[in-house]
């Protein structure tokens, strides 16, 4: 029996080989590789296989992991000690974290080695949950996508409605869903 992540990899292998339309808008250049959140460790163990599939299809690969983004942001924040003592104060500062997350993804999308034939792959989306909205980050970088933005998305979708970690409030987005069921 094939695992969900192996099915997702097969679906991605087929999808990344489809010729790219260079005239589409930024939101249409976003791919969400959707998987069940409990599969996170299996997915991370197979990231190199996704890279290999991308490169075999003739595209560049750039990987950004957001897992430590909040810890790194908090570690350099001038008021971090106050936030640890009184976490409620942090709520007003989270817009700064959102800007930082947007800057991280924007930096990856505009890196010198990333071009119109590159995939920028983002892992660690779940680490944003409860701190900022992934939808805000993705929407704020749309105009920077030269090739494709691949977001490994632990959650679910129905139509164009995406729910990170199965949260009740989802959002409507034009991203292309890639799912294990497409890899059968």
CA distance 15 to 89: 44
**DSSP-based helix, strand, coil % in the chain, nearest 5:** 50, 20, 30
CA distance 144 to 149: 10
CA distance 73 to 132: 13
Kindly report the length of the chain.
184
Other Cβ atoms closer than 10 A to 84: 11
CA distance 6 to 12: 10
Give me the pLDDT at residue 123, please: 97
Q: What share of the chain has pLDDT > 70, as a percent?
A: 89
Give me the pLDDT at residue 182, please: 57
Give me the pLDDT at residue 112, please: 95
Work out the mean pLDDT of the chain and round it to a whole number. 88
> Which residue in the block uniquely carries the two structure tokens 């164009």?
160
**Strand ranges (E), 47-147:** 60-65, 118-123
Answer whether residue 93 shows pLDDT above 80: no
Of 154 and 174, more confident: 154
Q: What share of the chain has pLDDT > 90, as a percent?
A: 65
* pTM across the whole model: 0.91
């Amino acid at each position: 029996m094939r695992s969900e992540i192996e099915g997702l990899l097969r679906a991605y292998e087929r999808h990344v080989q489809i010729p790219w339309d260079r005239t589409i808008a930024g939101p249409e250049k976003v791919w969400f590789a959707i998987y069940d959140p409990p599969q996170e460790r299996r997915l991370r163990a197979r990231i190199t296989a996704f890279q290999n599939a991308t490169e075999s299809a003739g595209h560049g690969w750039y990987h950004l992991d957001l897992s430590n983004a909040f810890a790194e942001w908090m570690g350099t924040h001038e008021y971090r000690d106050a936030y640890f003592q009184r976490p409620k104060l942090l709520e007003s500062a989270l817009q700064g974290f959102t800007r930082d997350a947007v800057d991280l993804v924007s930096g990856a999308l505009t890196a010198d080695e990333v071009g119109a034939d590159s995939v920028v792959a983002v892992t660690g989306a779940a680490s944003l949950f409860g701190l900022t909205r992934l939808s805000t980050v993705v929407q704020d970088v749309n105009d920077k996508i030269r090739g494709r933005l691949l977001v490994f998305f632990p959650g679910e979708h129905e139509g164009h409605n995406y729910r990170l970690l199965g949260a009740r409030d989802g959002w409507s987005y034009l991203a292309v869903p890639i799912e294990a069921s497409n890899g059968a």
